[in-house]
Structure 1
Amino acid sequence: MARRPLAIGGVVFGAWMMIVAGTWQVLVGIAALVEDEFFVTAAGYAYEFDLTGWGWVHLIIGIIAVLVGFSLFTGSDWARALGIAIAVASMIANFMWLPFQPWWSIMVIALDVFVIWALVSVGDRMRFPDQEPDR
């Protein structure tokens, strides 16, 4: 199987974007846990949770996203599948976080969309010629 630099480059860039988005999630999670008065809450929002709870959600998703982002460099199928799942979870969490930090949420959602596109579009082209398929 021939190596496809564009496909591999897309996943490498997607992995770095997942690491960046995960780091952003960790930072907003820590901010919500430490200083929840920093965030302005909208009254009557349908997905109203305690900001400390949101802090934990963002912190956990962020940590997992960073770890999965680094594991994407191995080229394994499980890392791609988990990367897609975490990016979808991140998109949902940030959609529900929109009233608290709209621009931040939109940036993370945009990064997650690119990560999903990169991980879905590469298929088996991520494999280097000397790699065996996952079993």
Structure 2
Amino acid sequence: MPRQIKREVVIAASREKVFDALIKPSAIKQWWFANSAIVYAKANGHYVVSWGPNEDHPEYINAMRISVFEPPAKLALSDFDYFSKTGPLPFKAELQTEFFVAEENGKTKLTVIQSGFPDSFIAEIFYLGSVVGWETTLASIKKFLEG
């Protein structure tokens, strides 16, 4: 049975500002430490992010489809196409990432759920890396938005 990661962070910013940070390439590059981002912000649009010191030869690329686009409440990404200089993932996965943006006591709660991780030994390192990655990423988006 596939596994999922669920993480939450409360941010002192409006829902609109948090949602905008999820879809604006200039913001994504800052809080996700990416070297490039392209977002066609609409249902069935594209969400492509790359990482690495050389923009022309990135270390990693995630190309996803925006399967749900409901500003400022929900963004869902699916149909992941993952590239790494070290090669493809050594397992089959149908990853999906959902972002939920909700008002909470005058602040905004951002919840991320990434699902579709295979429950296999070979996928364990990628899964654990993603757990740590989301903790770091949510702390980064909070710092980016709160200044």
TM-score, normalising length from structure 2? 0.31
User: Which has more helix, going by share of residues?
Assistant: 1
Could you say which structure has the greater relative contact order, defined with CA pairs below 8 angstroms and 6 or more residues apart?
A: 1
TM-score, normalising length from structure 1? 0.33
> Which structure would you say has the larger Rg?
1
